[in-house]
């Protein structure tokens, strides 16, 4: 049985929350027509049972719920399993609402991802090597990072370094000496992260052992023996889930013993090979069915949360799909993006990451510079798009490369890219400072303009943002654009070009391909 709670929107009130991927549709307001369920479909990114308002109101539930903005009202669907909590912060603005909800429901614990995540770029093999990473390619890739003049950082060896999903042993043909490789990478200054998933390849000894132990999600299925006419019956059998690499069983992480088994595999990789962390892919709630049989009762979102908790043990854990776990030291990545300017590409990265910040995920990463969707990046890239993507991501908490600039750009565009890479090195200590602040307070690192300036009427701005409380960043995200309009809040602002701007005002500034407009708050 379900009931509906109705909340009348206040004049001039704006709301954020629910699905990070729909950041481009936020804020919701009196004229919005938007309905969303948080039960299964997260559109490939993070979700949180939180809504926050520009007038200090918030909504929370420990379990998934559906909500709708329609005709000036917010409708909340409640069931006997979920209780909607809504409240009013003492500070009647967006920052007040977010911090009040965070303190009450997902307070920070003072931990943050490893500092190198903020001080240097991440590097990922995915687009550069696709599904064919090898020891030789990875080492050469790391050496090319240094040849380009880029700082060593976190290096992610993506999918297909292993024998089979669930059999977390190195592919001996592709990586004949993995321990030596990681030692070499460490000597070069890199930390090493491995891709993992909750899937288990069927027709392996590991699958048989996990099934016998009850560590896999199950379903009632019809079983037909070799003598089909004599023996057809139903029994519990592991689910085979179809995903982008085929069909596999799924770990039941609601079972503490299965949880412990998976973590023991990761601990072994850390101990035996000195692996520094893990990229946790998959875990999307839509891949789970409400009818799945698990050790403990779980919603599809609950399975996603169990998967997220695996990463809490490690100082380097990256997720693309996540449920709850706000203000935990997990890197949250924007879903894979194609090498395009608009929807599904560069344009999405800012509103999605701003939504991350308002949902308790301060350590946000805008996917890979130039795009990270395998098959969505052409053989010949658009150098203008690549440069603008690098500029836009420079002030993000985490920046990640796969296509190295010295491998894909001509000399002219490479010089422009190296300028923005040096800018990132310059600003990195400030990013780390804001990350440490986030770990203590829960405040976003990358902030919506309305979060920092509640009286400036900037709720509907999607293409500029604040780094902490000090830096205003206004990247160009449209092809061929060489000027852009910037809205300045009150105060004095020092531009990257040396200009002084007196806010509050709107100003069109020159933004050739060689410039990322950014401003430092002076008072």
Q: Which residue has the tokens 């003492």?
A: 90
Q: Is the dihedral of CA 433, 436, 440, 444 positive or negative?
A: positive
Decide if pLDDT at 38 tops 60.
yes
Read off the pLDDT of residues 258-273 as tens digits, 9 standing for 90 and up. Answer: 999 999 999 999 999 9
- 446: exposed, middle or buried (Cβ count in 10 Å: 0-12, 13-18, 19+): buried
Homologous superfamily, domain 446-521: Golgi alpha-mannosidase II (2.60.40.1180)
Please give the Cα distance from 503 to 499 (Å, whole number): 13
Residue 136 has pLDDT above 80, yes or no: yes
For residue 84, what pLDDT band results from cuts at 50, 70 and 90? Answer: confident
CATH number of 2-105: 2.60.40.1760
Check residue 251 and report its DSSP letter.
Answer: B
Residue 476: asked if its preceding bond is cis (omega within 30°), the reply is no
Closest CA to 193 of 118, 264, 124, 263: 124
Which CATH number fits the domain 117-198+253-441, given the four candidates 3.20.20.80, 3.40.50.170, 3.30.70.1400, 3.40.50.300? Answer: 3.20.20.80
User: For residue 518, what is the DSSP state?
Assistant: E
What percent of the chain is modeled with pLDDT above 70? 96
Residue 103 CB contacts under 8 Å (≥ 6 apart), including other chains: 442
Per DSSP, what are the bridge partners of residue 506?
Answer: 487
Reference 322, options 333, 313, 314, 336; nearest CA is 333
Q: What's the pLDDT at 224?
A: 58
138: pLDDT strictly greater than 60 = yes
Model confidence band, residue 1 (pLDDT cutoffs 50, 70, 90): very low
Q: Do 117-198+253-441 and 446-521 share a fold?
A: no
Kindly report, residue by residue over 40-76, the tens digit of the pLDDT: 889 999 999 999 999 999 999 999 999 999 999 999 9
User: Hey, where are the domains in the chain?
Assistant: 2-105, 117-198+253-441, 446-521
């Amino acid at each position: 049985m379900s009931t509906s709670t109705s909340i009348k929107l206040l004049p001039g009130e704006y709301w954020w929350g629910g699905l990070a991927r729909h950041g481009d549709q936020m804020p919701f307001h009196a004229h919005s027509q938007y309905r969303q369920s948080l039960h299964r479909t997260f559109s490939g990114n993070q979700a949180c049972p939180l809504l926050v308002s520009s007038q200090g109101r918030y909504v929370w539930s420990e379990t998934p719920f559906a909500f709708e903005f329609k005709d000036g009202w917010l409708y909340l669907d409640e069931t006997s399993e979920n209780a909607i909590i809504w409240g009013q912060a003492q500070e009647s603005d967006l920052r007040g609402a977010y911090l009040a909800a965070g303190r009450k429901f997902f307070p920070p614990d003072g931990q943050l991802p490893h500092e190198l995540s903020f001080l240097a770029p991440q590097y990922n093999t995915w687009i550069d090597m696709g599904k064919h990473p090898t020891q030789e390619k990875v080492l050469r890739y790391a050496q090319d990072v240094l040849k380009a003049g880029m700082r060593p950082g976190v290096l992610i060896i993506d999918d297909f370094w292993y024998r089979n999903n669930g059999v977390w042993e190195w592919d001996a043909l592709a990586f004949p000496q993995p321990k030596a490789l990681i030692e070499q990478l460490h000597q070069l200054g890199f930390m090493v992260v491995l891709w993992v998933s909750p899937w288990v390849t069927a027709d392996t000894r590991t699958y048989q052992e996990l099934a016998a132990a009850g560590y896999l999600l199950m379903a009632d299925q019809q079983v037909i023996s070799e003598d089909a006419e004599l023996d057809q019956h139903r029994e519990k059998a592991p689910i085979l889930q179809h995903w982008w690499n085929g069909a596999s069983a799924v770990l039941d992480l609601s079972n503490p013993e299965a949880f412990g088994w998976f973590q023991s595999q990761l601990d072994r990789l850390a101990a035996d090979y000195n692996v520094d962390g893990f990229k946790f892919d998959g875990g999307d709630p839509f891949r789970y069915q409400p009818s799945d049989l698990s050790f403990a009762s779980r919603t599809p979102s609950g399975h996603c949360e169990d998967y997220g908790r695996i990463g809490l043990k490690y100082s380097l854990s990256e997720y693309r799909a996540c449920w709850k776990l706000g203000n935990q030291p997990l890197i949250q990545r924007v879903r894979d993006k194609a090498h395009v300017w608009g929807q599904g590409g560069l344009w999405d990265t800012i509103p999605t990451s701003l939504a991350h910040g308002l949902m308790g995920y301060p350590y946000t990463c805008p996917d890979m510079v130039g795009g990270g969707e395998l098959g969505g990046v052409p053989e010949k890239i658009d150098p203008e798009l690549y440069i603008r993507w690098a500029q836009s991501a420079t002030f993000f908490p985490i920046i990640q490369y796969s296509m190295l600039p010295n491998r894909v750009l001509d000399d002219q565009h490479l010089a422009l890219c190296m300028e923005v890479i040096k800018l990132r090195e310059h600003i990195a200590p400030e990013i780390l400072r804001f990350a440490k602040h986030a770990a203590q307070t829960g405040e976003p690192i990358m902030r919506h303009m309305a979060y920092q300036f509640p009286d400036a009427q900037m709720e509907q701005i999607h293409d500029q943002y604040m780094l902490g409380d000090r830096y205003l960043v206004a990247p160009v995200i449209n092809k061929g654009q060489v000027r852009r309009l910037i809205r300045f809040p009150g105060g004095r602002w020092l531009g990257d070009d040396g200009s002084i701007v007196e806010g509050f005002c709107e100003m069109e500034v020159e933004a050739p391909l060689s410039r990322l407009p950014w401003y430092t708050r002076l008072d």
